[in-house]
Amino acid sequence: MQPNHENKNHSHNNPTDYALELKADCESCFGLCCVSLPFSASVDFGMDKSAGQPCPSLRDDFRCGVHDTLRQRGFRGCTVYDCFGAGQKVSQITYGGRSWREAPDTARQMYEVFPTIWQLHELLWYLAEALRLARDDDTIKGALLSAFEETERLTLMKPSEILSIDIAKHRADVNVLLLQASEGVRKQTLRQIKTQPKWPKKAGRGADLIGAKLRGADLRAANLRGAYLIAADLRRADLRAADLIGADFRDTDIRGTDLSESLFLTQAQMNAAKGDASTKLPAALTAPAHWLAN
C-alpha cells in the first residue's frame, strides 16, 4: 500500500456520516497512542512512560495485552482516551500501512506526526457538528465548510509538511467559527424556551464547578466551554444546547442527565464521566463499557 497524500476534495454534505470516520479503529492502527504519547504515574496511569517509548503491554500485533483490565491495573487514562480516528489515518494513509516496526527510520517522525493529526481530527469532529447544526441559509455555513475542507486537506499532506503546520494558529482560526456557530444555536434555543433557564452564578466559560451540586439543574444553552466539572453532581440535569467544548468531565456524575443535544461533546469526555443507562447521549456517542459495569 502506498501513502496517499492527495486531497480528494470530498464534499461532506452529510457531516453526520463523516463523523463515523472520526472514531478510533484500533484494528487499523499501529498502537500509536501506546507509543507516541507520554504519561506519568498518577491516578490515571500506573507508571511513567516517555514519548516514543512503547508501553510494555503493547503486543506484537499492536493490541493492548491488558485491555480488559486497564482500570483494575490503574490505567484509567487509557480507557478515557480517544484519538478521533487519527491513529488509523496516520497508520494507513500518511504512512501507507507501513508500521514503525517495519520502518524504524521513520518511527520518530511518525510519533511526532500523530499528535498533530489527532488535533486536526478533533477539529474535524467539531466542524462536522457545527455544519450539521447550521441552517442552509446561515451565513456561517460556507465558512464552516471551507474550514472543514482545509482541515481535512492538512491531514492528507506529506509527513514533513504536517510537521510544519502552525496548529495553534489553525485551532485559533477554527475556534472563532465554532464560537459563532455555538452562539447562534444557543440564542435560537433560548428564543424557543419560554422561561429563561436559571443558570448557577458560577456557570460560564471556564467556570470552576469542581464538585458543584447541580443535580437537576436547567443548563440548557449555557456556555460551559472549558468549564471544570470534575466530580460535579449533574445527575438528571438538562444540558441540551449547552456548549461543552473542552469541559473537564473527570468523575462528573451524569446519571440520568440529558446530553442528547449538547454542543461539541466528545467520546473522551463521556469516557471520563460517571453515567448509566439513563444518561441521554448524542447519537454519535456511545455509553462506555464501565458505565454498565457499575
Q: Are residues 227 and 182 in the same domain?
A: no
pLDDT reported for residue 4: 44
246 HSE (CA, 13 A, CB side): 15
DSSP 89: I
Assigned domain for 67 exists: no
Q: What is the pTM of this model?
A: 0.90
Residue 262, domain member (yes or no)? yes
Within a domain: 112:
yes
Number of domains in the chain: 2
Do both 19 and 138 map to the same domain?
yes
* pLDDT, position 30: 96
Q: Are residues 106 and 130 in the same domain?
A: yes
Domain boundary among 125, 154, 187: 187
The pLDDT value given to residue 6: 42
In a domain, 63, yes or no: no
Among 187, 218, 235, identify where a domain stops: 187
Domain that holds residue 176: 15-29+83-187
Residue 46 lies in a domain: no
DSSP secondary structure string, 225-268?
TT-B-TT-B-TT-B-TT-B-TT-B-TT-B-TT-B-TT-BS--HH
> Do residues 152 and 282 share a domain?
no
d(CA 215, CA 96): 49
68 is a domain residue: no
Residue 152 and residue 19 in one domain: yes
Q: Give tens-digit pLDDT for 42-86.
A: 888 889 999 999 999 999 999 999 888 888 888 888 988 999 999
Looking at 187, 214, 241, the residue that finishes a domain is 187
Both 91 and 142 in one domain: the answer is yes
Quick one: 24 and 164 in the same domain? yes
Q: Is residue 136 part of a domain?
A: yes
Model confidence pLDDT, tens digit, residues 176-205: 999 999 999 999 999 999 788 888 878 888
Considering the domain architecture, whether residues 239 and 285 belong to the same structural domain is answered as yes
**Quick one: 170 and 232 in the same domain?**
no
156 domain-assigned: yes
179 in the same domain as 238:
no
Helices (H) and strands (E) in the chain, counts: 9, 0
Q: Are residues 125 and 174 in the same domain?
A: yes
> Confidence band (pLDDT; 50, 70, 90) for 3?
very low
- Same domain? For 158 and 217 the reply is no
Please provide the DSSP assignment of 194-215 as one string. SS-----TT-STT-B-TT-B-T
Cell of 169: 494558529
**256: CATH:** 2.160.20.80
